[in-house]
Structure formats: structure tokens, C-alpha cells
A and B are shown apart, each in its own frame.
Chain A
Amino acid sequence: MKYFNSSKSLAISFLALTLGLLAWTIFNFSNITTHVDSNIFSLLPKSDRNQIAKEFIDRIGKSGEKSLVILIGSDSLESSLAAEKYFKDLTIGLPVASPSSEDYLGLLSKLNNHKSGLVTPEDISKLNSEPSSYWFERSNALAYSLGNSAVPWKDDPFGLLNDWVYKLGKVTKVRPYSDSLIVEGEGKSYVVIPLVISDSVSSISSQNDLADNLNNAINNTKGKFPGLEVVKSGVVFLASATSKSVERDISLIGLVSSVLALTLILIVFRSLYAVGVVLITVLIAFLYAVLAAFLFFPKIYILTIAFGTSLIGMSADYCLYWLTASIDDQKNTFERRRYLFPGMFLALITTAMGYLLMVATPFTVLSQMAVFSVVGITAAWLTVILVFPFVKGLHFKESPSVNLIKDLELLISRLPSKVRLAVTFSMIIFSLYGLQAIKVDDDLRAMASLDRDLVADQVKASGILGIPSPSQFYVVTTPSEQETLEKTEDLAKKLDKQVADGLISGYQAITLYVPSIASQKIASEAYISTNKQSASKSIAKEFGMSSQWVKGQNKVDQPLTIDDLRGLPIYQKLSYLWFDSSLYSGKSAAVMLTGVNSVAAVKVLSGLSDDGVSWINKTQEISELFGKYRTLFTLLIFSGYLLTFLIVFIRYKRDAWRAIAPPIFATLISLGVLSLLGESVSLLSVVAFALLLGIGTDYGIFLLQYPGDRRVLLSISVAGLMTLISFGSLAFSSIPALHSFGIALLFGVSLSWLLTLFFARQVSLNA
């Protein structure tokens, strides 16, 4: 009785804990939902070869998360401006604001204090060569010109600082026009509307609302101005589209798998009570899964939840082991538990192993999926093991469905040996085909169902605005600020050549804003050239300026350093180009590129890296990482089968192959089917086949363990169907990764089940 008591108290504790957690969840529900995240930047792997590069990407991601750009274009500037006004009126009251102005004048007066070092290379060569008459004329021309320049003539009588500032302006193609921003591109005049999203927009629903309202405003504006082109770019649009399609996925997959799972239970057990028990188990599984994901991860990517719908079937699976075992069974519930425990434990471990492979990857979203699933199935398993023995009335009669399975088994076992041979032979042939026909796909984008039009818009906006690529850039790191700036300038010189050759359209570097002290020294030396000095004396005479003024125009200023810009708004804006933190030794600069669009360009660009200059190619790096884990998991699956075979061989000797062959053939044939369907193999498909290793061998082991127990046959058949439902429904997903995962298991599990029957030892089932 002691056993009974401890078992009862365990069950009660588990139920009490569950109820407590349920109450807590209900009270904190709104808090939990704000942790759901639809930002595609969350998909990036967490481990990086280059921590500084990661920091730069984070900065781009962080500012990108909160900002968006809308381009309104038409054939005439006038109608673009009118459309802008109309659009802006429509967006009044939305939680977006125009970015703060850049304090151009504050920057100019700061630069004026360091002007001797801020001279363009063109002007430096003129300072070193042109006679004083040139400088005299040049200054005169400026003085008598129509109007005045940004830096007043008396501060910049030769227009040197003005030239330098003008060159800086070339970084962007956007130009102010009245209170608008304009850019020309592809034969159209675009008005640029940059917007910053207010901090109040944090939850997915508020993000979706904002995206909807902006889209409505865009559509209304388009309706009002026929022929208008609107290009929108911003993480919020992608995130909203992704979360909407994932939400559609979740409802569809959830509905399909729930209906199928419950129908299956109804057909097999003909009892609404059984349906209710399974439903409660599934809910408990979800409760623990959600809480675990919530506790382990600061943000839960929405994809995790879509994948999580497969938990419906997975958790129902364990109930089925119990429920099928109860059919016409005379054992008491504790004996049944003892009878089922080894098998169920094996099933839990093998499935969990498959998932744990996902935790081992540096991809947060895969870890989330794994934690969600492992905790969920464990909770379901515990519910069955701890609580089910105390649930009254879980005893069912044999239903005609059992005969169906039996008939199928008989059909397969009575196949003439010639047919068997033919089938086996064709399976081997097709498996070989499957092995060589694999098409791999290691694209990160498969993890998100990115709207094609939005991506096209994003690319177009980047092209028109000259926005640098966030995934391909350089990071320059050295121990000191000046060394980093000098190395950056060296790199910039090499890039100038690539721009001239047309390999890239441009680049952005901190040294365009703050040249190294060495460069400023060269500029300052030219700045005090004797020709210019004598010209300024003549100018002073002509215009009545003091000797003090002449001195002021011919002195070497303190060089401009990055510290000088601190406190100006531009410092914040340049944070994606310059990085110094006490967390890292050394100073780093990023050099961003625009218009990189050929493989040849990438090859040349990667060749420019050297000691201290790293070429970061995030897209390639992520693909390589995906590929690396895909290969690693493939090897793991291979050794997994080997290990399982050894273990099974010790116990079942010559029959061991019967447990191993079905999932192996199922995997290889699935590969063949996938390639015939035009599907490619990704990391997630490999994870799917790892799960199949666990699930598939279970069926075979169960049949070897209880060769005559038709309840076991029913059990694995119903469990197989349930697994099929839970993972197969993922094939409906619009997210390529989930789709390929689902479809791999759809074929894998059904084939594995059929082949287990096909390879089963021929014994009478009438035991």
C-alpha cells in the first residue's frame, strides 16, 4: 500500500502544481503574450565568429526595428508631393513620428574648429600645386557669387571646408526640398517619408494595427492619385505579414490536427469521455510548454508557436498508448502502468533525443521549438503515467477499427514472396535514387514566410535610397582609435577603386566623417601652403580684413576626433559605423557597402580583408552554419541507426534488422519522394529524419517485444496515425521550413509504419 500512497501523492502534487501554474498563467496572460516576437532579426543565429560584427548587426537591427521608410513616386515631383501631403494627413494620430533633425548647423560649427584637417584630396592637390593667383581668384569668385555658402565666406574664404562638407553629402542621394525629402530613381521622383515607430508599439497586435493602418493609408493615397508608386520598407511590414501568415498557419494547422486527432480517438474508442481525457492532457502539455518557453527565452519567436501545434498530436500519442492498452484488458491500472512503462519511457526518450538535437544548434528559434516540444511531451507523458492510473472509466471495448488494422496486417503478411521480393527490390532502387537526388537548401529565409512583394519593395527602396547591405560589410578592429581609422582609410581607398570599376555603387565609413589624424595632418600641411597664405594676404588687403584674420586662415587646427562628435545627434546616427565599448579591447569600425549584387563582386570584396580587416558575409555565414549542422545531424542520424541496431541486436539477434530497416527505408524513400516533388532538404528536414529514427524504431521494437499482442499492433498503428496527423499537418504551413519538416515526416512516418508491418515477423495474431 505504501507504493500506492506515494503514487497517489505524486499524482496529487502534479495536479496541484498544474493547477497552480494554470492560475498563474491566467493572471499573467497579457504579460506572456507580449513576449511573442515576430521580428525576423530573431532568426539570426546567436553564436558568431565575430562578436563585434554581431554587435554592429544588432545595432542595425535595433534601429531597423523601430524605423520604416515609405517612398511615394510618380512621374512628376509635384504630384509626388501632393500625394505625400495626402498620405501624411491620413497618418495623423498613428504611433509614428518623423525622425528628429540632424542639427546640421551644430555640426558645421564644430567642423569649423578643425577645418585645416578637413580638406578634400582634390583640394589638397590644388593647394600643393596652384599659384597664389588661383587662390586669389577663387576667393574673389566666392565672395562675389550669387548669395552665400553654408560656411560663411569669412570663415572659409577659399571654399575648402565647403567642398569637404559637400563631399560628405554625397553619402546619400536624398535631398531636402522644402519640408520634404526627395530622391530621384528609375525615372521617377520619389518623396521619402522616414518614420520612427513610437515605443508604445511593442506587442504583435499593436504592430499589426500600425502596419494595417499604414497599408490602408497607402492604398487610399494610391486610389486618390492614379499612377502613383508606393514603395514601403521596414521590419514592421515584414513582421506583420509574417505574424499574420503564421497566425493563419496556426489556426489552420491547429484546426486540422485537432479535428483529425479527436476523430481518430472517436473512431478507435467510440467514447466522448476518451476525447475529453485526451483534450485535457493536450492542454496540460501546452500549459507546460508555453511556460517553459516563456521562462527560458526572453522572446518567443512566432514560428515556435506554429511548430508547437504539432504538440497536439504528440501529446495525444501517450494517451493512446494507455487507452489502447486498456482495450479488453483485465489488469488493474497499476499493473498496466508497470506493463507500459518501459515502452512509453523508450518512446519518450527517443523522441526527446530527436528534439534535443535542435537545442544543440545556435539557432534560437530551433532551440525554442525543441524546448517547447520536449517540455510539452514530457508533461503529457507525466500526466499519463502519474494521473491516468487514478482516472476512472478508462477501459474500452474492442472496436471494428482493430479488425481494420488486423486485416491490413494480414494483407501484408499474405503477400506472395515474389511480390515481396519485387517490392523490396524496388524500395532499394528507389532508396538509391533518393540518396543521390537530394537537393539541399541552407537559406535562412526558409525559416520565415517572407512576403515576396514586401521583399521586392525592400530591395527597391534600398536601391533607390542607397541603403547599405546589413549582411555584407567589413569590420576593422585594432587596439587604438587612430590605427583603426587609418586602416579604414586604407580600405576605403581600395573600395574607391571598386566603385570606379562599378563592382559596388558606394560605401559608408566613419572616416568620411572623421579622417585619421595622419590624414588630417597631410591636409593641414597643404592647408598652410605658401601660395594660399600669400593669397589670403592679398584678399585681406582687398576686402579690408585684419592681420588677425589672415593668421586665423593659415593656422593648423586641432585634429577632429570621434570624441569631438559625442553629444551631437550625428554621433548616435553613426553608431553603426563606429564601435568602442569597455566590453571589448580595441576600437572597431564597420565599412558598409551599397549596390553589391554580383557573385564576382563578393569574391573581390572578400579578398580585400587582411589582418585587422574582416569581411563579414552574414548570408553566407548563416548558410554555412545551416549546412554545417545539416551535415552534422546527418552523421548523427547515421551513428544513431548504428547504435540502435547494436542495442536491438543484443536483444533480438537475427530479427534486429526488422526494427531498423523500416525507418531507414522510410527515410531514403522519403528523400526520393521529396526530390520528385521538387522539395529540397534543409536543416529542419534532417531534424525530421532524426525524429523518425526515434519514432520509427519504436514501432519495430514494440512489435519485436510483443509479437503476438494485437493491442500493441493497434497501439503503434494509432500512434503512427497520430504522429502523422501532428507532424503531417505542418505540411500545410506557409513557412518553407515547417512545410519541409512536415512533409518529410508525413512520408517518413507513414512509410515507416507500413514497412514495419511489411518487415514484421510472420506470426499469428490470434494470440
Chain B
Amino acid sequence: MANAFVRLLLAGLVCFSEATFAESLPNQIESMVGSAQTVRGKFVQIKVMTGISKRLISDGNFIVDKGQGVLWVTEKPIYQKLRVSNSGIKIDNKGGNLMTLDARSEPSVRYINELVLAVFSGDMNVLDRLFNYTGEASSKGWVIELTPKSVSSAPFKKISMTGGSAISRITFTSRDGDLTDITFSEIRPAASLTKDEVLQFQ
């Protein structure tokens, strides 16, 4: 069931790219974001879906580690733990494992991991490969909008990201007009994962 995430990212990958942005932008963003091995933080996600009156608000925490992948833990209103790594994608809820996707049986796991890492760690090199983008950067911060080249074949209309020394907000806009808005807080870069965190990635 919870292949939704995979499909979301697969769709994102289908989005076609052509590097048309100013050359200085990725370098600027990259120099501002820095290149810590590990970043931890909290997030609030607001989903606005067409045809659904309720705004779906959830929050939790995340860890991004360039070596291990991404750990995305939703705490409220329902507990859900998503782990994306080079070897697979795993989603657990309070009842146990909801879905496991092995990189050996699903080749796109590798690309999803790469994209997720790139988005959350600001790896402009990878994003440059995957999307068209426009944006600007100043001493106060940066804004970037990623768009697929061919909108007709991608459920994504665009991904917007803003940030300063770290990424502070991401908005996904789907083809159907659904909005997923994620705000980050308490972002803490670190040189490595703690032992406890390493275990969480297992």
C-alpha cells in the first residue's frame, strides 16, 4: 500500500530537467547550506488536498545523513517512521512494518534515496541533474523553484524550497493542485550520527 511515497518520488523523477539556471545559484546555495555529514531537525507538514476540506497537519522529526539516508518520523497525529536508504525504503507505524521496499527488487530505491538526500541536504549537483529551476540567493537567504520539463506526464507541478544556512521550507505542488508544505525548525548539523541514531537506521 504505502508505495505512495515511492510513486510520488518516481513521478518526481519522471519530471524532465534541463539546466537553465544561472551558474552561480547552486554554488551560492551550496556555500550557504554547508556540507555537514548529518543534519537533524523538526518539521511541521501541512497538506491541503483538493476536494478535502480538512487541512492535514502533522509534525515530527527527521535525520538526514549523507552516508545512511533519511529518517523521517511523524509523531502527531499518527506515528509513522519512514526510512530511506541506499538499500531500501521502510515504513513502520505503531502496529509494525507497513511496507518494505528492497533496492534489489525495486531499482528506483537508489534514485529515490539520492533525490531525498539531495533535497534535504541541498545537494545542488543532483538537483541540477533532475530539474529545471529558477531562484535567487542573497545574503539573507535563498529561494529556488524546481519544475519538471514535461508537466503533462508528471503529477508534480513544482517543488519550492527556501532557506538560509539550512533549508527552512519545502512546498510540493501536485498536478491536481494538492499542496504539501513542510516547515523545518531546530536544524542542527553534526559531524556524525549518535550510536542511538545509527541503530534507528537499521
Chain B residues near A78: list those with CB within 8 A.
129
B153:A101 contact, CB within 8 angstroms: yes
Contact with A along B102-126 (1 / 0, CB 8 A): 0000011011000000000000000
Does any Cβ of B come within 8 Å of A105's Cβ? yes
Chain B residues near A104: list those with CB within 8 A.
14, 153
A179:B16 contact, CB within 8 angstroms: yes
Does any Cβ of B come within 8 Å of A27's Cβ? no
Among A146, A152, A162, A177, the residue within 8 A (CB) of B72 is A146
Enumerate 22 A-B pairs (CB-CB under 8 Å) in ascending A order: A141-B80, A141-B98, A142-B2, A143-B49, A145-B82, A146-B82, A146-B182, A147-B174, A148-B155, A148-B174, A150-B8, A150-B10, A152-B50, A154-B51, A158-B1, A159-B3, A162-B1, A175-B107, A175-B111, A177-B111, A178-B16, A183-B107
Output the least CB separation between B19 and chain A (Å): 10
Does any Cβ of A come within 8 Å of B9's Cβ? yes
B4:A178 contact, CB within 8 angstroms: no
A159:B2 contact, CB within 8 angstroms: yes
**SS class of chain A's interface: helix, strand, loop or mixed?**
mixed
Given contacts A179-B17, A543-B54, contact A152 B176 (CB under 8 A): yes
Add 20 more A-B contacts to A147-B5, A162-B4 (CB < 8 A).
A101-B153, A138-B2, A141-B78, A144-B47, A144-B56, A144-B78, A146-B45, A146-B82, A148-B155, A148-B174, A152-B49, A152-B50, A153-B52, A154-B50, A162-B3, A163-B3, A179-B16, A179-B17, A542-B54, A544-B54
Chain B residues near A153: list those with CB within 8 A.
4, 49, 52, 178
Output the least CB separation between B141 and chain A (Å): 23
A149:B78 contact, CB within 8 angstroms: no
Does any Cβ of A come within 8 Å of B152's Cβ? yes
**Which B residues are within 8 Å of any A CB, using their own CB?**
1-11, 13-18, 45, 47, 49-54, 56, 58, 72, 74, 77-78, 80, 82, 91, 93, 95, 98, 107-108, 110-111, 129-131, 149-150, 152-153, 155, 172, 174-176, 178, 180, 182
Near B by CB (< 8 A), chain A positions 96-147 give 101, 103-105, 123, 137-138, 140-147
A144:B153 contact, CB within 8 angstroms: no
A149:B3 contact, CB within 8 angstroms: yes
Look across to chain A and name the residue whose beta carbon is closest to the beta carbon of B182: A146
Chain B residues near A81: list those with CB within 8 A.
129
Does any Cβ of B come within 8 Å of A545's Cβ? yes
Give the distance in Å from the alpha carbon of A544 to the alpha carbon of B80 in the complex: 22
Given contacts A81-B129, A149-B4, A182-B111, contact A175 B78 (CB under 8 A): no
A143:B56 contact, CB within 8 angstroms: yes
Look across to chain B and name the residue whose beta carbon is closest to the beta carbon of A103: B153
Give the distance in Å from the alpha carbon of A176 to the alpha carbon of B13 in the complex: 6
Does any Cβ of B come within 8 Å of A655's Cβ? no
**Which A residues are within 8 Å of any B CB, using their own CB?**
77-78, 81, 101, 103-105, 123, 137-138, 140-150, 152-154, 158-160, 162-163, 165-166, 173, 175-179, 182-184, 542-545, 549
Give the distance in Å from the alpha carbon of A158 to the alpha carbon of B91 in the complex: 16
B180:A175 contact, CB within 8 angstroms: no
A166:B56 contact, CB within 8 angstroms: no
Give the distance in Å from the alpha carbon of A81 to the alpha carbon of B72 in the complex: 29
Give the distance in Å from the alpha carbon of A138 to the alpha carbon of B155 in the complex: 22
Give the distance in Å from the alpha carbon of A152 to the alpha carbon of B173 in the complex: 12
Which A-B residue pairs are the 5 nearest by beta carbons?
A: A149-B4, A147-B8, A179-B16, A544-B53, A159-B1
Give the distance in Å from the alpha carbon of A147 to the alpha carbon of B4 in the complex: 8
A146:B8 contact, CB within 8 angstroms: yes
A159:B4 contact, CB within 8 angstroms: yes
Chain B residues near A145: list those with CB within 8 A.
2, 4-5, 8, 80, 82, 91
Most buried by B among A146, A163, A543: A146
A146:B54 contact, CB within 8 angstroms: no
Give the distance in Å from the alpha carbon of A150 to the alpha carbon of B7 in the complex: 6
B4:A184 contact, CB within 8 angstroms: no
Among B2, B11, B180, the residue within 8 A (CB) of A141 is B2
Give the distance in Å from the alpha carbon of A258 to the alpha carbon of B73 in the complex: 83
Among B53, B153, B172, the residue within 8 A (CB) of A148 is B172
Give the distance in Å from the alpha carbon of A144 to the alpha carbon of B5 in the complex: 11
Chain A residues near B176: list those with CB within 8 A.
148, 152
Output the least CB separation between B133 and chain A (Å): 12
Give the distance in Å from the alpha carbon of A51 to the alpha carbon of B82 in the complex: 53
A176:B1 contact, CB within 8 angstroms: no
Look across to chain A and name the residue whose beta carbon is closest to the beta carbon of B112: A175
Chain A residues near B174: list those with CB within 8 A.
147-148, 152
B153:A149 contact, CB within 8 angstroms: no
Chain A residues near B6: list those with CB within 8 A.
166
A178:B10 contact, CB within 8 angstroms: no
Among A149, A542, A545, the residue within 8 A (CB) of B7 is A149
B77:A144 contact, CB within 8 angstroms: yes
Look across to chain A and name the residue whose beta carbon is closest to the beta carbon of B150: A101
Chain B residues near A103: list those with CB within 8 A.
153
Chain B residues near A141: list those with CB within 8 A.
1-2, 78, 80, 91, 93, 98
Given contacts A142-B2, A146-B82, A150-B155, contact A176 B10 (CB under 8 A): yes
Among B72, B107, B152, the residue within 8 A (CB) of A173 is B107
Chain B residues near A183: list those with CB within 8 A.
107
Among B5, B13, B95, B107, the residue within 8 A (CB) of A178 is B13
Chain A residues near B1: list those with CB within 8 A.
123, 138, 141-142, 158-160, 162-163
Give the distance in Å from the alpha carbon of A173 to the alpha carbon of B17 in the complex: 22
A142:B4 contact, CB within 8 angstroms: yes
Output the least CB separation between B178 and chain A (Å): 5
Output the least CB separation between B196 and chain A (Å): 23
Chain B residues near A179: list those with CB within 8 A.
16-18, 149
B13:A175 contact, CB within 8 angstroms: yes
Given contacts A179-B17, A543-B54, contact A146 B2 (CB under 8 A): no
Most buried by B among A147, A149, A175, A544: A147
Chain B residues near A154: list those with CB within 8 A.
49-52
Look across to chain B and name the residue whose beta carbon is closest to the beta carbon of A156: B4
Look across to chain B and name the residue whose beta carbon is closest to the beta carbon of A135: B1
Chain A residues near B74: list those with CB within 8 A.
144
A545:B52 contact, CB within 8 angstroms: yes
Output the least CB separation between A641 and chain B (Å): 63
A150:B11 contact, CB within 8 angstroms: yes
B93:A162 contact, CB within 8 angstroms: no
B8:A152 contact, CB within 8 angstroms: no
Output the least CB separation between A74 and chain B (Å): 15
Chain B residues near A138: list those with CB within 8 A.
1-2, 98
Given contacts A146-B180, A148-B155, A544-B54, contact A178 B17 (CB under 8 A): yes
